[in-house]
Every structure is written in C-alpha cells, then in structure tokens.
Amino acid sequence: MDRGPILRINDLKVSFQSGGNYAPAVDGVSFELREGEILGIVGESGSGKSVTSLASMGLIPSPPGKIDNGKIIFAGKDITDISEREWRKIRGNQLSMIFQEPMTSLNPLFTIGNQLDEAIRLHTNLTKKESKSRCIELLGLVGIPRAEGILKEYPHQLSGGMRQRVMIAMAMACQPKVLIADEPTTALDVTIQAQILTLMKELNNKTKTSIILITHDLGVVAEICERVIVMYAGQIVEQGEVRKILKDPEHPYTKGLLKSIPEIRGKKDRLYSIPGTVPEPGTVKKGCRFAARCPDAFARCQMEEPELYKTQKDGHEVRCFQHTLKEGSGDHAGVTS
C-alpha cells in the first residue's frame, strides 16, 4: 500500500481575538496524515485539537479567528489559499468531518433520508432513485439495520449511537479520501463508544479512507490508531507510533495522560488526573508551556521554551529538555519546529 502523505499541515498558526489582542490557539503545528492510516490527536480540553482540524477543513470562523501562518497540502496540492467556492467542492467530498454531538450537525426538521440524500447529491449527479439506493447502501455500511425505515425517521427518533452512525454515513457519502472525526464518541456511553470505534476501524479497512481521530482519551487512541500526536497548549509535545508511545512515553504530559487511562492502570480506585488545567492561549510568556504542571520541571524549563526534538526512534518526536539531557544536545539538527 502507498503510505505517502494524503494531508500535510505545515507550521500552522491560528489565533483568536480575546480582548483587543489575538492569542495563539494553535502555534506552529506540523504533521502529516499518511494514506490509509488512522492518526490520533490527543490532549486535554483547550489544547487546540479542534482548531487544528477546523483549519485543515478551511473552517476557522473569522472573526474571531485568523490563520497567521501555515500550509495545507492535500493529495499533493497546496490548498492553503483556495477560495471558499473551491473549499466547498473539497469539503464533504474529498475531506469530510464528523463532530462530537451529532444533534448539532443533523437538522431536526428533516428526515434522515432527506439529509443523506442532500449530502450525496450535493457532490454527485445521481438521480433521486440512485441516491436512495446509495443511502441504503451507506446505512448498511455503518451497520444500521432496516435502513428503509430509518430513512423516514427524524434525528430525535434515533438513539445517540444511531445518530452518530448516520453522521458517519453522511461523512462517508462521497467516499472521502480523509475523514476527520472530532471526539466522535465522547457523548456516547462506553458500549456504544466501542461499537463506533470498531465501525471506524472497519470503514478504514474497507474503504481505505484515512482518518484523523481527535480525542482527549489515550485509551481511545490505543484502540484503533497507528500513530498519535499529543497536543498541549496549541503545540505538539510528542508524536510517534502508538505502540511505542503507550509502552515508553517520553513527555511528562503524555505520561500523565497515560496514567489516567483506567485499563492501563489496572486499578479501580479514583482515576488519576494531571493537577491543574491547560493554560489559556498566550498566557505562558516564558519557558515550557507545561512547566507549571510538570513533575520533572527544572530551572531551564522556567526560562526557555523546548523545541520538538526528533529522537532516535522511527518518526518519534518530543518537546522536552529531558531529551537533550539523555541524548546530549548534539542532535539539534533534528529539531522540527
């Protein structure tokens, strides 16, 4: 299988107006999504996950937001500065997105059939009849039985899990090359969550659609992703292969996230959570953005901001001075942003 990048984001910077100033919500993020892979983006609330994905879809609301820098390369083409008209052709067609709460993206006034039909016919020349059989085929693809009946129902008549399946069917309507799923299972109970994750893995296998899965839960990443990006305060702090990062995380933030997965801790008592919260954009003026919460912080961390260092391991990168202590500082050529 070709494992070249289908989507590449280069040095993305996005800021939002707060008071009279702009504060950076995403600050120099670069990554690539390879063909056919499932890439996880993980981090606590406010770390910049959604802003990164919205920017990748040309959906940053402006105002209050603005893209200060960055390139978006999709299927080898620079789409950074394309017009809204061109974005509409790509969005929902080649690049698709599903959101956390399906009720907010499904229109309560229209049936599931109406909405699926619209998603299909917006980007294809199918007739009404052809579109209907495509709707049924899509609902089958996402594991919805008695599809004919569901087409006539309204969103509120479905369970949360069913609605999320419909959203996925809608996002898959035009066989997108890339699907961005922003917390697709957060609003669902654990059993349904597992079913939706399995479904996404199956779709990825069957259709070869590359997926970016955004979540605050490393446990979800462990289930279905091959590679993971860990974000903190608008930056990537660690990225690499999921197997490696789960076994041997290097950034203190990743270690903290890992400790908060119940299965991995294997204990039933209260779940660990990293003390404190993600700083608001622009509020850390000096030093490492994680320093105030980091159990390993030392003097240098208060003064300088660490860069993203390439380690010796395959594609693995970490933004922490401890890496330079371990490996010596001779590998600065490996700094990627």
Give the number of other CB atoms < 10 A from CB of residue 277: 11
290 binds ligand SF4 (CB under 6 A): yes
Select the binding partner of residue 25 from Mg ion, ligand ATP, ligand SF4, none (C-beta < 5 to 8 A, by kind): ligand ATP
Cβ of residue 94: shortest distance to Mg ion, in angstroms? 23
CA nearest neighbour of 90 among 1, 178, 159, 207: 178
- Ranges of beta strands (E only) in the chain are 5-18, 21-34, 38-42, 65-74, 77-78, 95-98, 178-182, 210-215, 227-232, 235-241, 309-310, 317-318
Report if residue 309 touches ligand SF4, rule: CB under 6 A.
no
Identify which of residues 74 and 253 has a Cβ nearer to ligand SF4 in the complex. Answer: 253
Nearest alpha-carbon partner for 105 in 14, 52, 181, 41: 181
> Smaller CB distance to ligand ATP: residue 46 or 113?
46
- Contact between 252 and ligand SF4 by CB under 6 A: the answer reads yes
Number of neighbours of residue 194 by Cβ within 10 angstroms: 14
Q: How far is the CB of 290 from ligand SF4 (least distance, A)?
A: 4
DSSP code at position 242 = H
Strand partners, 23: 16
Q: Does 165 bind ligand ATP (CB under 6 A)?
A: no
Residue 36 binding result from ligand ATP, Mg ion, ligand SF4, none, given CB thresholds of 5 to 8 Å by partner type:
none
Q: Whose structure tokens read 């129902």? A: 153
Of 50-58, 197-205, 250-258, 322-330: span binding Mg ion (CB under 5 A): 50-58
Of 49 and 91, nearer to ligand ATP (C-beta) is 49
Identify the CA nearest to 237 among candidates 279, 303, 274, 289. Answer: 289
Q: Which two tokens stand for residue 72?
A: 């978006």
x/- map, 53-92, ligand ATP, by CB under 6 A:
--------x--x----------------------------
Determine contact, residues 31/7, Cβ cutoff 8 Å: no
**DSSP state at residue 97:** E
Q: Which of ligand ATP, Mg ion, ligand SF4, none is residue 203 near (CB under 5 to 8 Å by kind)? A: none
Does 50 help bind Mg ion (rule: CB under 5 A)?
Answer: yes
Beta bridge partners of 41: 214, 229
288 Cβ partners below 8 Å, 6+ apart?
A: 294, 297, 301, 302, 304, 305, 306, 319, 320, 321
- Considering beta carbons, is residue 43 or 256 the nearer one to ligand ATP? 43
Strands 210-215 and 309-310, by their bridges, are unpaired
Partner touching 210 among ligand ATP, Mg ion, ligand SF4, none, CB below 5 to 8 Å by kind:
none
- Which residues contact ligand ATP (rule: CB under 6 A)? 16, 25, 43, 45-51, 61, 64, 216, 280-281
Site for Mg ion, rule CB under 5 A:
50
User: Which residues contact ligand SF4 by CB under 6 A?
Assistant: 252, 288, 290-291, 294, 296-297, 301, 306, 320-322
